[in-house]
Amino acid sequence: MIFFAYGLIGLFGVNKTDSENIVFESKSAGNSPTEIKTISIDIEDAVVNPGAYKLSQDFRIQDVFVAAGGLSAQADRKYIAKNINLAIKLTDGTKIYIPNLGEAVIQTSVPDGSTQGVTTDVLININTASEPELDSLPGIGPVTVQKIISGR
């Protein structure tokens, strides 16, 4: 009987006080869910409205194309399909260059590991190009030039 009484006191007495002490805390003002961080993106050449845009940091490259009004009629769609991943998240300060049809684009690697398009109007045949012509290519230095020439 003593254990039964002790159990009832513990069941009703302890649980009431615990359930009344639940406290909900609000987030601080700096972490407001309505606060959206923006980044700046520059998209140029073969789009309807080239220029710099401020977008949400969660946007993707496809969203930049939409913000710029889409691709122009002169855009090289095959280049875009092969070389631009529309699902990549954007980072602040990114420049996106969309080439026109017939415009030669050489991919170069930048220090952060991404690739960057460099345009040129002159095509260079690496099988017949001279040393200064090869050295003028972005990302090709004297050592690589010598490797290309010796490999012919």
pLDDT tens-digit profile of 8-59?
A: 776 666 545 445 555 555 555 555 555 678 999 999 999 999 999 999 988 9
> Tokens 């012919």 label which residue?
152
Inform me whether the pLDDT recorded for 65 exceeds 80.
yes
SS3 114: coil
pLDDT of residue 128: 86
**Distance, CA of 125 to chain centre:** 33
What percentage of the chain exceeds 70 in pLDDT?
69
Q: Which helix (H) or strand (E) holds 65?
A: helix 61-67
DSSP state of 47: B
Q: Where are the domains of the chain?
A: 37-121, 122-152
SS3 46: coil
